[in-house]
Amino acid sequence: MATTYLEALNRVLQLIGEEQVDQILETDSYTNLLSAFLNDIKEQIEDSHNWRALKKTYNVTVLPNSQTATITGANERSRLVRIYQSNRYSEIPLVFDVTDSVNPDPLIEIDLAELFYKTSIDPDTRQDPVYFAIDNSAGGEVNLKVWPIPSSQKTIQVTMVTPQERLTNANTQIYIPTRPLVVGTAWYALEERGEELGVNALFSETRFKNALDDAISRDAAEQGNNMELVSV
């Protein structure tokens, strides 16, 4: 069963010798500080690997004569999943035109600036999209842009790693491996208490790195794809 935010926080409190809590109160300054540490470590872990539990596939609808569609459910920290194809010696993004579900067509990724350039020099072309780019410049909104501009409605399937939002609700389930999250937060807590130069803090930092490496190795092996790349 998945670990909740409150359960993870209590495991941290236990590790550093503090009393566990029944709820996360805004008035409890120390618990809130640990919560900030926990969320910071969570983001580090989420960014370190394409975790299987964070992968989501979105079906994005691009309307006729439109170039842009919002990837609903993605956030500003979402990133494309790419796989390495040995026969091409390159990364291939998992982005397909699935309007015809029997014959999905892979789209070619280009820089956003190049896509704007193609649109500017040939704005009237209307045909099935061949190229795409991801635009996350609008804060928390992530948009898919395609070229050429389609004359009919298209469904584009995009697979991304989407990290969880910052944890605030005590009952929120955590998707990433819990052990490196707990150990890493305890390490931060020991540093905050002034023990960063002591044996205990050094051991905690080492434990965090080892726990994270172990979790990444297990997750990669279970996915059966150790060549998968994290780059955006």
What single letter denotes the amino acid at residue 57? T
pLDDT digits (tens, 9 = 90+) for 89-148: 678 999 999 999 999 999 999 999 999 999 999 988 899 999 999 998 777 789 999 999
State residue 226's pLDDT score. Answer: 47
Distance CA 81, CA 69 (A): 19
Query: 């726990």: which residue's tokens?
Result: 211
Classified as helix, coil or strand, 154 is strand
pLDDT category at 79 given cuts 50, 70, 90 is very high
* pLDDT tens-digit readout, 159-186: 999 999 999 999 999 999 999 999 999 9
Looking at residue 88, what is its pLDDT? 64
The CA distance from 68 to 1, in Å, is 39
Contact 140, 163 (CB under 8 A): no
What is the pLDDT averaged over residues 39-46? Answer: 98
List the end-to-end C-alpha distance of the chain, in Å, as a whole number. Answer: 31
Mean pLDDT to the nearest integer, 35-40: 97
Q: Global pTM?
A: 0.87
Nearest Cα neighbor of 45 from 230, 194, 202, 232 is: 230
